[in-house]
Structure 1
Amino acid sequence: MRLQTVMRAVVGLCACLVLASCSEDVGVDQHGRKVAAEQLEGQWLVINYWAEWCAPCRSEIPELNALARQLKDQPVRVVGVNFDGLQGAELNSAAAALGIEFTVLEQDPAARFQLPRSEALPVTYIVDDSGQVRERLLGEQTAAGLTASLNRLRGGD
C-alpha cells in the first residue's frame, strides 16, 4: 500500500513538472499579466523598442497600435520593449502615457531571439515564426511600411 502511495506521488510530481514546462512564461506585460512563451512562439513578431524621451518613438506608437489591430486575426504579434528597462508601475505608467495598446514586455526578449543591441531608437525587429530575426528597421515606422515588410518577408501571405 505504501509503495502505491509513493508511486502515485512520483507520477503526480512528474506530471506537474511536465505541465510546468509547457507553461513557461517570458515574464509579464505592462499590466503585470504573465506572458506565456506560446503567445510568442510559432508566429511572426514585430518587436519594437521605445523610450518616453524618444520623440520618433512617441510618434510611431499610434502606427504600431493600428498595426496590432490590423493583424489581430493573423499569426503576427506586435510587442514592445522599453529601452530603459522600466519595470512594474513605472512601465505601466509610461506605456499608458504613450497610449500603447499592444503588449509591452517587462523582460527584454533580446536573448531569446538573439536580437542585436541597438543604441539608436526607435528600432523594430521582425522575427519569423521559427524565431529568426528577418529584418532590423531603424527609425520611425508606419503600419503600411511594416505591413509591406511582413508581406515581403512572409512571401505574400
Structure 2
Amino acid sequence: MITKALRVGLFAVSLLLVACAPDHGNDQYGHKIDSAQLEGRWLVINYWAEWCGPCHKEIPELNALAKTNPEIRVLGVNYDHLEGDSLLKSTEKMGIQYTVFQDDPATLFSLPVSNVLPATYLVDPQGQYREKLVGEQTATAIQARIAELEKKGQ
C-alpha cells in the first residue's frame, strides 16, 4: 500500500527529474522534442533552406536514413529561422519527414556556425559534437562516416 507521503515524495522526485532534462524546444508541429528520444543514439542535425538546391536533393536521403536506422536520429534546422506555420509549410513543401527544430539547437550541442548549406552535424550517443559535413550528403555516406567515428572511438 502506497501512503500519501510516499506518493507526494514520488511526485516531487519525478518533477525534479523532468526539470533536470535538457529542453530541446519544439518541432515543426509545435510539439515538445523529448530529450529521451535523442539520448543514447547518434544525432544527424541537418541545416537546410528552401532556396538551397543541394538541400532539395539531400532531403530524400535524410528521410531514408531516418526511416531505416533506429540507432540514428535525423533532425533538421531551418537556416532562415522560420517559425510556426511558416516552418511547417516549408517542411511540407520540402518533403521533410523527420523532426525539425523550431529553434536552432547549436548551443545545446556546441555546434560551430556554418555559413554554407547544406551543413550536417554528427553528434555521438553521449551528446558530443563530432563532425561537420558540408555539402549534399547521402544516407550511405553518413552511415559510413558514423561507422568510422565509432571504429576510431572518437
- Partner residue, 2:43: 45
Identity value in percent: 50
* TM-score normalised by structure 2 residue count: 0.86
Mapped to 2, the partners of 1:78 and 1:109 lie a distance apart of 13
**Among residues 123, 126, 129, which one is paired with 1:133 in the alignment?**
129
Mapped to 1, the partners of 2:18 and 2:141 lie a distance apart of 39
Counterpart amino acid of residue 109 in structure 2: F
**Among residues 53, 59, 62, which one is paired with 1:61 in the alignment?**
59
Local SS of the residue matching 1:131: coil
Q: 1:15 to 1:138 in 2, by over 3 A?
A: same
Counterpart amino acid of residue 126 in structure 1: L
Local SS of the residue matching 1:57: helix
**Among residues 63, 67, 73, which one is paired with 1:77 in the alignment?**
73
Q: Does 1:142 align with 2:138?
A: yes
User: Which string of whole-angstrom CA distances, capped at 9 and with x for unpartnered residues, describes residues 102-122 of structure 1?
Assistant: 111111110011000100000
Counterpart amino acid of residue 134 in structure 1: R
Counterpart amino acid of residue 78 in structure 1: V
RMSD of aligned alpha carbons: 2.2
Q: 1:106 to 1:16 in 2, by over 3 A?
A: same
**Residue 24 of structure 1, CA deviation:** 4.7
Moved more, 146-155 or 48-57: 146-155
Q: Does 1:97 align with 2:112?
A: no
**Among residues 148, 151, 155, which one is paired with 2:147 in the alignment?**
151
- Partner residue, 2:33: 35
Counterpart amino acid of residue 126 in structure 2: S
- Listed as ranges, the gaps of 5+ residues in structure 1 are 1-6
Q: Does 1:114 align with 2:82?
A: no
User: Which string of whole-angstrom CA distances, capped at 9 and with x for unpartnered residues, describes residues 60-97 of structure 1?
Assistant: 0001001111113xx22000000111111111000000
Mapped to 1, the partners of 2:46 and 2:11 lie a distance apart of 39
Local SS of the residue matching 1:18: helix
Counterpart amino acid of residue 88 in structure 2: N
Local SS of the residue matching 1:141: coil
- Listed as ranges, the gaps of 5+ residues in structure 2 are none
* TM-score normalised by structure 1 residue count: 0.85
**Residue 11 of structure 1, CA deviation:** 5.0
Local SS of the residue matching 2:130: strand
